Structures are given as structure tokens and as C-alpha cells.
Structure 1
Amino acid sequence: MPASSSLANSALTPLGRTVPIRPDRADVPAAVMADLPAKGSSPIPPPPPDRLVQNRDPRHLGQILLEDEAVSSQNLLKAVVMRQRQDAPLGEILLAHGWVTEAALTRALSRQWRTSMIDPVAMPPDPRLLDQAGADFCLSAGLVPWRRIGGVTYVVTSRPEAFGDTSRHLPADFGELRMLLCSETAMRDAILGSRKTALIRRAETRVPIDDSCRNRNEGRTARIAAVALAGLALGLILAPVLVISIVTAWALLTLLATMTVKVLAFSPPSCARKAARGALQPVRRVPTPCPNRHKCRGSFRSSR
């Protein structure tokens, strides 16, 4: 019996509980099952921070894409030239111009970084791990904790070049981290499909309540507007001349106040002009006597 099938009994979850794991499950990639320790063996110690990212292939991404025939040499040369003027990865430039498909780019990245690629939409991540890391952080960092099996937390990312830095912000109790790859679209769809409502609620309450309109009473405002319109209509019926005169006077008053504010804005007060002139006056320099003025005077006379 292989070592992977010997772990069919249990696997640890983030909450310390034990859940059954079957090696033949369709939602666990073969590369993940191969990493699991044998039954009765000691836990895998967490690696140092510089080994969170697996040893990558020394070949460049463009070379791998050319070998896979996923991009033409002309488009690759254009992307390389554009990369010299833009602060963006080569894959993003190729993808933005439609010179490579997202699936081909993800497959080439998995070969370059020597890791497996999964679809987090078809195999959703553990919502407890997602909540522990924070859905908003996962969206901004381009990663999501996928599963925790055998003391190892598998993290799916769409930006493998930044995994070493972004993974440091994950909770420390995740233990050892293993990187898996997916596309940017699949990453976003997986997070939104699991925590879309929570992200919407957090975005709606992001502004402090004193600076937002969340505490506005819409019903009271509607009632006040209805009473005002009813009073205006009743006034037009009972005393139309008086109501029209009041409305006209109010309009003239607001127009006069607006024009006054505009005139004051273009004519600053005299005290402000004086302060501005005083601030622009040059600083007078006070002459200081030379400590060697007698020697300087003697030398000047001898030169004459």
C-alpha cells in the first residue's frame, strides 16, 4: 500500500478536528496527495521563509510559452519591449493584449514554478481558512488558502512571483505552506462565490457612519416633503398671489446671496492684502563688522 493511501483515516482541520480523507477523492489533486506523510510518521516541520516558494525552473516564461506554442515569437518580442517601459509582469502584458490565453499562461506558470494547478471554482476553498485569512486580503494579494491536509496548508495563488512576500501575512497557525496555481479569473470567482455578500456588507460600511448617509431617515424626509408640497398646493388654491410673492422673494434672496458670495471671493479684504504684501517684503541684511578690518584696510592702502 502506498504512503498516500495510508492517510485515509484522518487529516487535521484548522479547528483541530479530524475529518476523513480518502486518497481517491476527485477534489484532491494527485500532487497534493503525494505530499502527505505516511501514517505514524512525524509531522513535517515548517520550512524557513525563503523556502515557501518551490525551486522554479531556470527557463524564462517566454521560452516555456514558445515551447508550448502558446504565443508567437512576434508577439513575445513586442511584450518584452513593452515590459521595459512598464512595471508589469510579462504574463499580464501578454494576457492584456490577447496574445496568450489564460489557461495557457497558467499552465506555463505551473511548469516554471514546478507546482500543480487547480480550479478553485470547481473545487472551492475551505471557507474557514478563507475567513481566517480575510477575504479582502485574499482579493488584494491574489491568493486564497485552499485546504489544510496533514498539517500542510495549500494556498492557491495567481501571482507566484509575489507568493514569498504575500504569504508572510497569512496567520502563523497555518503551519507549512504549499503553493498551488490558478488563473486570476478563477481566483476572483472563487472568493466572490464564497464571500460575495460579506464583501458587499463590508464595502457598504467602510465609511464612518458620521460621514455617510446610512443613518438618514428616508421615511421622515418623504413625509416632510409631502407635507410641504401639500401646503404649497393648498396655498396656491387659497391665496395664490401671496404664495407666488413669497416664492419669488425667496428666489431673489437666494440669487442675491449667491452673487454676494461670488463677489467676495474675487475681492479679498484689505487686511489680507496687507498681510500678503508684508509676507513678500525682502529680508534686510544687517552688516557685521569685519574682525580683521585693520589688516584689510592696511592691505588696501598698500595696494593703492
Structure 2
Amino acid sequence: MHPLRTAKIIPFQSRRSVRPSPELVRGREPLGQLLLQSGVLSQEDLIKALAIQAREETQLGQILLNHGMVSEAELFGALARQSGADPVDLMAEPPHHHLRNIIDLELCLKENIVPWKHIGGALLIATSRPDRFTAIRRQVEETAGPCRMVLAPEQDIQQAVMQLHDETLVNKAETRTPHPHSCRDWQAQRMMRLTLAAAILLLAGFLVSPAGVLTALCALAITVLLLNIGLKLSTAISQIGPTRRRNAASGPPPRTTRSLRLPVVSILVPLYHEREVASRLIT
């Protein structure tokens, strides 16, 4: 069967097959404008989302999804019209396993992309950020050849990357801590034998000379306590000189005058649809 017939596309408005060469459209309309035109987003919700984006520096689409202003299908339908790419269902048709090494794993994790399949002599790459695809394609085409973009939710892409690189990701997680600071080579059986041997020697010592063992344990505890006190004293003494020098260099603290805190007054001035805006601001 021809690969174009096997590609499963998420329907949005009109159902289309995967185009062999989707491109980002120059001068494309803003995402919010497309959602307004399709009638799935209100003007008030768009203004609210843009205000949140200005504070949090988050993608507009993610804000709209998190606040329930649009559904995932509506959002990806608008992204598809904006970017000229098609949305795909990675859960129904996961990426081909033989493509797992065609793109570096670090790049997949950093840019949230995953190679999906080969169609029409081009590698289809699923992404949730079409605005970043142009820069990504320059890196990928050097080793993977011609690339085209398809759209998928961020969580689906992450799940697909985990399925493709499960063993590699597990190994990276286990070896992330540097070897000198990790316990990867911890020999539990050896430590168990040493602990058991120490317990047997201690029990034998109690049986032979209980008073001597107790005296040795008390001496060890006192020695550790004295070493701890000496370490704290040496640390405190070592900080006396630097503290005096910092205080001498900074001089006396400046004199401050107390001032009354003035009240904060907010003035609400509706400029468009005064009645509707005023009612929302007051409530």
C-alpha cells in the first residue's frame, strides 16, 4: 500500500492527507487572529491570554490550552492553517523504530521533536512548535536529508521520544551523576559481610570483657564529640578576621528616615466597549 494512504491525520474542519512538503508561510496570520476568525476564541479571552503571556513569557497556544479557552483540536487546527503543516496522531501511529538514530536525542529533547516516518523521499518530523522548525530543519537536513514538518501535541511527542529511546534514556538517568559522587558501584553484599563481621566481633567482645568494650565505646564517643567541637571552633575563629575587615570597609550603616507609605490608587479607563469592559473590570 502506498505510504500516503497509511498516514493517519487528525481531522480538523476539512480532512487532508499529509503533504509531501509543508512549509512555513511567510507573513502568516497570528495564531490568535486565526482562532478569532474561526469563532472558537472570543476577543475577551484573547486579551486575557495575551496579558498572561506578557507576564509569564509562555507560548500563546499553551496558555489557551491550560485555561480551557480552546480545545487541543481547535488549537492544532489553527496551527495547521498558520504553518501549512498537517497534524498527526503519534499515539495511533507511533514513529518508525528504525528512525530513532536519525536525529540526535539531545536535539529531540531540547526542541521537542521526533522523526515520524519517510514519505515521498522526505523525513516527516513531528513538532509542537512550528515557529522553530526552520532553524531545526537546517540542522537536521545536514545528516537526514530533506525534512518536512507535521504537528503533534507536546505530550505525545515526549511519549514518542521515550518509546524510541527508552534504553538510552534509562542509561542517561542512571549515569547522570558523576562516578565519584554516585553509588553505582556500591557493593551491597560486601558491606553486608563487613557489617555482620563487625557485629560478631562486638558480640564476642561483650562476652569476653563487657567492661572493656563499654569503655572503648565511651572513649570513641568522647573523641568524636571533641573533634566535632574543635571543628566548629576552628570555623568560628576563621571567620572573625574576614568579618572585621568587611565591617571596616563598609563603614557605619547609613541613617534612614522613616517615611509614610502612600496608598496605591488604580484608575480604570475603558477605551473600547466601555460598558462591557467596565463590568468585567469591576466584577
Same fold, TM-score > 0.5, yes or no: yes
Match of 2:85 in 1: 115
- SS of the counterpart of 1:179? strand
1-structure distance, mates of 2:118, 2:61: 29
1:134 and 2:104 are equivalent in the alignment: yes
Q: RMSD across aligned C-alpha pairs, in angstroms?
A: 2.8
1-structure distance, mates of 2:82, 2:38: 12
TM-score (norm 2): 0.74
User: Aligned match of 1:174 in 144, 147, 156?
Assistant: 144
2-structure distance, mates of 1:35, 1:171: 15
1-structure distance, mates of 2:223, 2:133: 64
Match of 2:2 in 1: 22
- SS of the counterpart of 2:160? helix
1:161 and 2:131 are equivalent in the alignment: yes
- Segments of 5+ residues of structure 2 without an aligned counterpart are 10-15, 250-283
- SS of the counterpart of 1:58? coil
TM-score (norm 1): 0.70
2-structure distance, mates of 1:269, 1:178: 62
Classify 1:242/1:89 alpha carbon distance in 2 versus 1 (closer, same or farther; 3 Å).
Answer: same
Match of 1:228 in 2: 198
Match of 1:89 in 2: 59
Structure 1 runs (4+) greater than 6 angstroms displaced: none
* Aligned residue type for 1:223: R
2-structure distance, mates of 1:23, 1:134: 25
1:183 and 2:153 are equivalent in the alignment: yes
Give identity over the alignment, percent: 32
CA positional deviation for 1:79: 1.0
CA positional deviation for 1:214: 1.4
1-structure distance, mates of 2:174, 2:137: 28
Q: Would you say how many aligned residue pairs link Structure 1 and Structure 2?
A: 241
Contact 1:133 1:171 in 2 (8 A): no
2-structure distance, mates of 1:212, 1:119: 40
Contact 2:53 2:63 in 1 (8 A): yes
2-structure distance, mates of 1:101, 1:236: 73
2-structure distance, mates of 1:232, 1:24: 76
Contact 1:80 1:90 in 2 (8 A): yes
